[in-house]
Structure 1
Amino acid sequence: MLMTIHGSFQIPAHLHAIAPAEFRGLRRDQVRMMVLDRITGQFEHASFKEIGRYLASGDLLVFNNSRTIPAKLKGTQQQGTEFEIRLSRQISDTAWEGLIVGDYDRNRPIKLSEELFAEVIGNGGAEPLVRLSFSKKGLALLNDFYRIGEPIRYEYIHEPWALDVYQTVYAAVPGSVEMPSAGRAFTWQLLQALKASGIRVAFLQLHAGLSYYGNDKWPDPNQHPEVFHIPSSTAKLVTETKESGGRVIAVGTTVVRALETAAVEGKVTGTKGVTKLYVDRGYLLKVVDGLLTGFHEPEASHLDMLTAFIDEEQLKAAYQAAIEEGYLWHEFGDVNLILSKEASL
């Protein structure tokens, strides 16, 4: 049965990756990889550690080195009921947008610890997010998040895994509330081997916000701002790669969003800001030639982005094959490499 991209396929329960690869007897780079040709739609199955077979000297891999923070907090109010706060996006030194899960009174202070309090000061940029002001700011506030918080996890993850498993090996700049998971399978050994073969690497930051609000509510992709920073050194490598005929391959949808926001006529400049870019089938990619990504739920806007890289019918067929072949979904699952043999389509 052929599925439509949104709504009509379900991920079988046994294909939810409930544990990281290293807790399933594998190394990070031993997850499976489906390689999908952008032009023909043909696909083949491989191990992720073989990714170098599909890359060439002069290609550029661009990574998001945002680091996942412990963004799930427990709050209480005077009546003693406990509820959950899931941070989504930093607004200022003291304020964040977030999602409150459970019953609470928005007119009362929220106690998070003996030293940290918050109050709801307004609605967030999109329903059902709210804006929270905390009693600490800057580094002191971030330190408290690390002291009392936990990683956000969804219903398919049964174990409270430590924060370290929600990091890529190259994660450096704290700020994401969910792991930029497309690069989780990389090891330092694999990265060094790829660099030794002439493949270049570069880094940027895009701090990933909440991708799911619970109760079958998903962010409106047109109202989902995320903070990003592209260093000038990364912008220079992207432009040089395009000019020399190499391929720019984004490691994750967050990287696509950042690079395409900053792209003008095939060139990228170093910049920082907030992006609201929504990439779907109608979007003409400016600089990104390929994408390494996980397998996405039918409701996720990340899946829409894939249709900017490949024909929707070809993507449907590939996803159907992924289900039949037993690929694992979500942040601890397998990966999908989508690219063409040539940089210019």
Structure 2
Amino acid sequence: MMSAVRSFQVPANLNAHTPAEFRGVQRDHVRLMALDTVSGDCFHNHFHHLAAYLRKGDLLVLNNSRTLPAMLKGKSGKQTIEIRLSRKISDNEWEALIVGGVVTVGEKITLLGELTATITGIGMEAPLVILSFSKSGLALYENIYRYGEPLHYEYIETPWPLEMYQTVYASVPGSVEMPSAGRAFTWKLLKQLKQKGVNIAFIQLHAGLSYYGNNRWPNPSKHVEDYCVPEETAALVNQTKENGGRVIAVGTTVVRALETAVNHTGKVEAQEGRTRLYIQKGYPLKAVDGLITGFHEPEASHLDLLTAFIDKHLLLKAYRAALADGYLWHEFGDMNLILPMEEKR
């Protein structure tokens, strides 16, 4: 499915293929474009100045899902197979993408560490399949961590270590792609925000594959991801809203989790499960007021979610400004704050 906002192209030189730390820049010194959802005005800054746009009583909600080394290599007959894990189904089953060979249901793939994976069915949508592994639970995770590699796409030229794909606060393993909106945060910045009176809370949403290769993207209405909204976070969101503060999601994953957890009275409930919520233009956001995110490809459904916060024409105008000003795209790139900023202006 194509995004409703796709009238731009990202030149190759704006694809961030190197983590900030390897460009001689601290994580929180990447650039920040703050975007007023009402006027569409853009403010250009650096991420470590984020506090300038937030107020005492605001709440930042972060996704503390930890990234797995979700790319496994194996053999099926004479074929070399690459497995890209997408979503955990059970202790020994995953939805996954198979790259580099033609495989069918019933076929067995031999992996390192005396591990095998059998294709037992078709996933939630093509081209995903269901894999049943010969190990389960902690033994399977141990094998994944020992022999797996972090997922990376064509614009990444160097196989960076797994730690480059983690946020500093990541603690619950489960994402196959880094929840990258939080990558620019440092403990120093989080402490600074708390000292200003900005509250911090966490959810988990284990991010699945966002790209299937060969110009194929997930159908957002079929894209299932596991999430958990803890009791403490639900209470903080509701309290912030009641007190007139703003709830700012760090990443589209957080938006998806919190909005899934909204009950019929408009309050966020503590809950966990699997969400297939698809947020786009016109969606009535009930839990979240603002968003910190990276810059997204024109084909990504993430852009549809952004149009629930801001008119798509204002968003497109801001993206064109970011392109003209040399902002960097993707998980190692620069950041975008989307928020009503009437008091800032």
TM-score (norm 1): 0.96
Question: Mind listing any 5+ residue stretches in structure 2 that lack a counterpart?
Answer: none
Alignment match, 1:66: 65
Q: Which amino acid aligns with 1:269?
A: E
Q: Distance in 1 between matches of 2:102 and 2:313?
A: 45
Q: What CA deviation, in whole Å up to 9, does each residue of 1:202-227 have, x standing for no partner?
A: 00100000000000000000000000
Question: Mind listing any 5+ residue stretches in structure 1 that lack a counterpart?
Answer: none
Superposition map of 1:213-252 within 5 A: 213-252=212-251
Alignment match, 2:202: 203
Match of 1:267, SS state, is: coil
Cα distance change of structure 1 residues 37 and 114 upon mapping to structure 2, 3 Å threshold: closer
Q: What CA deviation, in whole Å up to 9, does each residue of 1:110-167 have, x standing for no partner?
A: 1011410010000000010000000000111011000110000000000000000000
Q: Which amino acid aligns with 1:308?
A: A
Asked if the contact 1:235/1:269 (under 8 Å) is kept, the reply is yes
Identity %: 62
Q: Distance in 1 between matches of 2:168 and 2:140?
A: 25
Is residue 140 of structure 1 aligned with residue 139 of structure 2?
yes
Q: Distance in 2 between matches of 1:284 and 1:34?
A: 24
**Which of 85, 88, 97 is the matching residue for 1:90?**
88
Q: Distance in 1 between matches of 2:212 and 2:291?
A: 26
Q: Distance in 2 between matches of 1:99 and 1:56?
A: 43
Q: Give the C-alpha shift of residue 8 in structure 1.
A: 3.3
Q: Distance in 2 between matches of 1:304 and 1:8?
A: 13
Match of 1:23, SS state, is: helix
Asked if the contact 1:247/1:342 (under 8 Å) is kept, the reply is no
Please give the root-mean-square deviation of Cα atoms over the aligned residues, in Å.
Answer: 1.2
Is residue 42 of structure 1 aligned with residue 60 of structure 2?
no
Q: Distance in 2 between matches of 1:33 and 1:245?
A: 25
Q: Which amino acid aligns with 1:291?
A: L
Q: Distance in 2 between matches of 1:146 and 1:76?
A: 19
Is residue 336 of structure 1 aligned with residue 336 of structure 2?
yes
Superposition map of 1:154-303 within 5 A: 154-264=153-263, 265-303=265-303
Asked if the contact 2:113/2:143 (under 8 Å) is kept, the reply is no
Q: Distance in 2 between matches of 1:229 and 1:51?
A: 26
Asked if the contact 2:33/2:44 (under 8 Å) is kept, the reply is yes
Q: Distance in 1 between matches of 2:150 and 2:59?
A: 31
Q: What CA deviation, in whole Å up to 9, does each residue of 1:270-325 have, x standing for no partner?
A: 10000000000020101100000000000000011100000111001000000000
Q: Which amino acid aligns with 1:66?
A: S
Q: Give the C-alpha shift of residue 67 in structure 1.
A: 0.2
Q: Give the C-alpha shift of residue 77 in structure 1.
A: 1.7
Q: Distance in 1 between matches of 2:18 and 2:165?
A: 11
- The answer to which of 8-17 and 161-170 deviates more is 8-17
| Regions of 4+ moved over 6 Å | none
Match of 2:60, SS state, is: strand
TM-score (norm 2): 0.96
Alignment match, 2:12: 13
Q: Give the C-alpha shift of residue 266 in structure 1.
A: 3.3
Alignment match, 2:53: 54
Asked if the contact 2:95/2:130 (under 8 Å) is kept, the reply is yes
Q: What is the number of residues matched between the two proteins?
A: 339
Q: Which amino acid aligns with 1:95?
A: E
Alignment match, 1:149: 148
Asked if the contact 1:71/1:150 (under 8 Å) is kept, the reply is yes
Asked if the contact 2:62/2:200 (under 8 Å) is kept, the reply is yes
